C-alpha cells in the first residue's frame, strides 16, 4: 500500500516519509546478521568519506596549523619548513585596521542583502498566491530565468547596466528622470558601488527565496485562514498568527542559507571591479585573498580563512539544529 503512495510523493518532501523509512527497519535488522554484509554500508560510503576528508577536512586542519606558522612564497615553493610564530599572525590581523574595516563592511553588506532579499522574496511569494494564473506563470518564468543565469554572466550584465558612458542606468536616470547622471561613475564612491553589487546579489538570490517560500505557503491549510477571517482577524493578523507559524521552519532555513551565501560575496565584487578591486571594496574574502596571493603571506590568508570559518560556524550549527529539529536527518 505504501508503494504507490511513496512513489507518488515528491522525494524531497520530508514530513511524510519517515513512517515509511522506519517501518521496514525491524525486518531489515533481523535479517542483517545472516548476510556477511555488515561492512557493506561502510564500503559504500568509504569513497565519499575519503574524498571529503582529502578535499575539505585535511586542508582545514593544515590551514589551522599554518596560521600559527609563517609561510611565505619561499616555503610554499621549496617545501622548506616554515618557522613557528605562535599567535603572531592573529595579532597582526587583529591589529590591522583594514581587517576590521572589511569585517564591518562584510557584515553590513551581508545584512542589507539578506534583509532586502528576504523582504522581496516573501512579498513576491505572498503575492504569487493571490494573483491570476497567467500572472503567476509569468512571475515564475522570470524567477527561473534569473535563477539560472550564471553568477559571472549576471555580474557582467549589471556592470554593463552601470557603465558610466553607455550604461542603461545612467541613461534612464538622466533622460527620463531629469537627474544629472550623464557619465556618472557608479564605482567611484564605494557606497554607490555596493548598491550595484548588492543589486546583483539580491537579483540572483530572490528566485530561490521566493520559489521556496511559495512552495511552503501552499502548505498552509486554507481552512485555518478562513476560520481566522471569520473570527475577525485582519489580513496582517492572519499572516502574523496563522500563515507565518506554518512557514516559519522553511523561512528560518532560507534565512540561514542566505546569511551564509551573502557572507561569501567575493566573486561578485571581484568581477564587477574588473578583477582589481580598490581597497574600499575589500570584503573579508577579498582581504584574505589579497593577503595570500598579493602579499604572498599565505599564513595570514590561512588565519583569516580560519577566522571566517569560525565566524560562520555559529550560523551553520544553528542551521543544523533546525534540520535536526524538523527530523530531516533520519
Partner 1 sequence: MSATTSAPKAPAPKAPAPRATQTLRPDRKKKSRIVYNAIGLLTFVVMIFPVYWLVISALRPNAEIRSYDQTLWPSSVTFDNFSRAMDYANFGTAIKSSLIICVTAVVGAMLMATVAAYAIGRFRFFGRKGFMIVLILVQLLPPTAMLIPIYLQLNDLGALNEYWGVIIIYLVSTLPFATWMIRGFVINIPKELEESAMVDGCSQMGAFWRIVFPLLAPGLAAASIYSLINAWNEYLLAYVVLQDNDKYTLNVWLANFTTSRGVDYGALMAASTLIAIPVVIFFMFIQKKMAAGLTSGAVKG
Q: What x-and-dash track marks residues 79-118 binding partner 1 by CB under 8 A?
A: ----------------------------------------
The cell numbers describing 53, all together, are: 576528508
Kindly state the smallest distance separating residue 308's Cβ from partner 1, in Å.
4
One of 97, 148, 176, 180 touching partner 1 (CB under 8 A): 148
Q: Is 190 in the site for partner 1 (CB under 8 A)?
A: no
The cell numbers describing 293, all together, are: 596571493
287-306: contacts with partner 1 (CB under 8 A): 288-289, 292-293, 298, 301-302, 304-306
Residue in this structure with the C-alpha cell 574524498, named with its chain if needed: 51
228-267: contacts with partner 1 (CB under 8 A): 250, 253-254, 257, 260-261, 263-264, 266-267
Q: Is 202 in the site for partner 1 (CB under 8 A)?
A: no
What Å distances lie between residue 317 and 63, 167, 212, 263, CA to CA? Answer: 21, 43, 22, 16
Kindly state the smallest distance separating residue 153's Cβ from partner 1, in Å.
4
| Alpha-carbon torsion, ordered 265, 270, 272, 275, to 10 deg | -170
22-81: contacts with partner 1 (CB under 8 A): 24-25, 28-29, 35, 37-38, 40-42, 44-45, 47-49, 51-52, 54-56, 58-60, 62-63, 66, 76
Cβ-Cβ contacts under 8 Å for 298 (sequence gap 6 or more) = 66, 71, 72, 73, 76, 292
Angle between helix 97-130 and helix 133-148 axes, rounded to 10 deg: 150
One of 107, 112, 116, 171 touching partner 1 (CB under 8 A): 171
Stretch that binds partner 1, among 92-100, 110-118, 160-168, 190-198 (CB under 8 A): 160-168
Dist CA 115 CA 23 (whole Å)? 42
3-class secondary-structure state, position 189: coil
Pick between residue 30 and residue 97 the one whose CB is nearest to partner 1: 30
What Å distances lie between residue 231 and 94, 217, 225, 237, CA to CA? Answer: 57, 21, 10, 11
Q: Is 178 in the site for partner 1 (CB under 8 A)?
A: no
Kindly state the smallest distance separating residue 106's Cβ from partner 1, in Å.
10
Dist CA 170 CA 168 (whole Å)? 6
Kindly state the smallest distance separating residue 243's Cβ from partner 1, in Å.
16
Q: Is 176 in the site for partner 1 (CB under 8 A)?
A: no
Amino acid at each position: 500500500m505504501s508503494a504507490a503512495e511513496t512513489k507518488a510523493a515528491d522525494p524531497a518532501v520530508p514530513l511524510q516519509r519517515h513512517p515509511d523509512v522506519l517501518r521496514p527497519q525491524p525486518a531489515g535488522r533481523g535479517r542483517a546478521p545472516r548476510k556477511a554484509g555488515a561492512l557493506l554500508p561502510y564500503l559504500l560510503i568509504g569513497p565519499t568519506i575519503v574524498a571529503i576528508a582529502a578535499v575539505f577536512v585535511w586542508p582545514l586542519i593544515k590551514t589551522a596549523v599554518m596560521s600559527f606558522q609563517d609561510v611565505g612564497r619561499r616555503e610554499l615553493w621549496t617545501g622548506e619548513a616554515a618557522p613557528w610564530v605562535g599567535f603572531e599572525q592573529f595579532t597582526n590581523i587583529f591589529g590591522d585596521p583594514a581587517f576590521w574595516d572589511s569585517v564591518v563592511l562584510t557584515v553590513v553588506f551581508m545584512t542589507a542583502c539578506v534583509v532586502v532579499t528576504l523582504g522581496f522574496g516573501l512579498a513576491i511569494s505572498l503575492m504569487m498566491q493571490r494573483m491570476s494564473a497567467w500572472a503567476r506563470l509569468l512571475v515564475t518564468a522570470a524567477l527561473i530565468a534569473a535563477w539560472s543565469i550564471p553568477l559571472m554572466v549576471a555580474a557582467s550584465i549589471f556592470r554593463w547596466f552601470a557603465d558610466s558612458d553607455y550604461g542603461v542606468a545612467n541613461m534612464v536616470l538622466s533622460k527620463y528622470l531629469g537627474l544629472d547622471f550623464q557619465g556618472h561613475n557608479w564605482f567611484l564612491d564605494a557606497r554607490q558601488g555596493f548598491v550595484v553589487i548588492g543589486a546583483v546579489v539580491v537579483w540572483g538570490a530572490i528566485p530561490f527565496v521566493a520559489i521556496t517560500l511559495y512552495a511552503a505557503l501552499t502548505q498552509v491549510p486554507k481552512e485555518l485562514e478562513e476560520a481566522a477571517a471569520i473570527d475577525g482577524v485582519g489580513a496582517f493578523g492572519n499572516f502574523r498568527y496563522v500563515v507565518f507559524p506554518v512557514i516559519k521552519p522553511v523561512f528560518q532555513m532560507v534565512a540561514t542559507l542566505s546569511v551564509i551565501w551573502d557572507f561569501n560575496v567575493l566573486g561578485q565584487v571581484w568581477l564587477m571591479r574588473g578583477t582589481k578591486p580598490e581597497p574600499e571594496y575589500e570584503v573579508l574574502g577579498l582581504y584574505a585573498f589579497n593577503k595570500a596571493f598579493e602579499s604572498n603571506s599565505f599564513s595570514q590568508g590561512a588565519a583569516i580563512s580560519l577566522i571566517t570559518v569560525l565566524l560562520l560556524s555559529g550560523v551553520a550549527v544553528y542551521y543544523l539544529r533546525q534540520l535536526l529539529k524538523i527530523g530531516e536527518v533520519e
